Amino acid sequence: MPTGLFITLEGVEGSGKTTQARLLAIWLREQGYDVIATHEPGATKVGMRLRALLLDTAHTGLSPRAEALMYAADRAEHVDSVIAPALERGAVVVTDRFVDSSIAYQGQGRNQPIEEIADTAVETLQSLIAEPDRPAPNSHYRPLLVLRSSTAAPRRRSRG
């Protein structure tokens, strides 16, 4: 049974993740691969609603733990409805953000216990390979885009 390839791009805001994910997906398609380009949060209908809630300024009192669990819910839906089906058919999945972002933003950024965030992330990753009828992806690559904050900050500001 064929299995796919899972590529996640991670990095700070303004590092070029979205641009590089898009360019990589285009290049892979040109090489003849079946490619799914996706992102977190909000790549599914449920994810879009969760993302809207998370970004809604009316919900600024949301506890950090609740926020982390909402991101985890988004990821679980993303894996079950987008990533896993694509990998099962042998596609290449390129995603802008995945587990590392949760560890950085909800763990470090929101002062949540890193172990809890990491455990939830590991459970999500294991769900990609632990189900008997689900083949494991051939590989999972996690490029990290690194740049100086003096470069990233103007990029973020230019977005408005």
Total number of domains constituting the chain: 1
Which domain range does residue 17 map to? 5-158
Query: Which residue would you say has higher pLDDT here, 30 or 15?
Result: 30
- CATH of residue 127's domain is 3.40.50.300
Q: Could you read off the pLDDT of 18-57 as tens digits, one per residue?
A: 899 999 999 999 999 999 999 988 899 999 998 888 888 7
Tokens of 145: 């885009």
Measured at the CA of 39, the angle between CA 147 and CA 148, to 5 degrees, comes to: 5
Q: Could you read off the pLDDT of 136-151 as tens digits, one per residue?
A: 444 555 555 555 667 7
Q: Could you read off the pLDDT of 53-108 as tens digits, one per residue?
A: 888 877 667 777 788 888 888 988 998 899 989 988 989 999 998 877 777 767 66
